[in-house]
Structure 1
Amino acid sequence: MTAAGIVCIVAGMLAFGIGLVRNPAAKRWHRWRLLIGGPVAVLIGILVLTGVIGGD
């Protein structure tokens, strides 16, 4: 589960970073999906790492 949590955190941080630097004139729904989905993925990764999700 540790690897899954780390992957979720890294993917979420990457998605959030892409959302921040994305061209504002691009599709707005896609940019906001990245800006909202990134932190959600990080939160899920933290919950997996701490054992709240999938813990023993």
Structure 2
Amino acid sequence: MSCPICDEDTVAKFRPFCSKRCADVDLAKWLNGSYAVASQREEDMDADVSEAEAEQSRPH
């Protein structure tokens, strides 16, 4: 099995990662929103459309 962050071989202590650094990188991605699970709630879908429309109307 290889590390999902850097593709090196995993180490049992940090599995599924190869090091604490890669584990911390993965955690940071979750905490800053780089990883996200899409919502299927209708209210959230409406909010996404509203945000997209607002972004289009802003000047660059």
Query: Structure 1 length as normaliser, TM-score?
Result: 0.32
Based on CA coordinates, which of the two structures has the bigger radius of gyration? 2
Query: Structure 2 length as normaliser, TM-score?
Result: 0.31
The one of the two structures with greater contact order (alpha-carbon pairs below 8 A, sep at least 6) is 1
Q: Give the structure with the higher percent helix.
A: 1
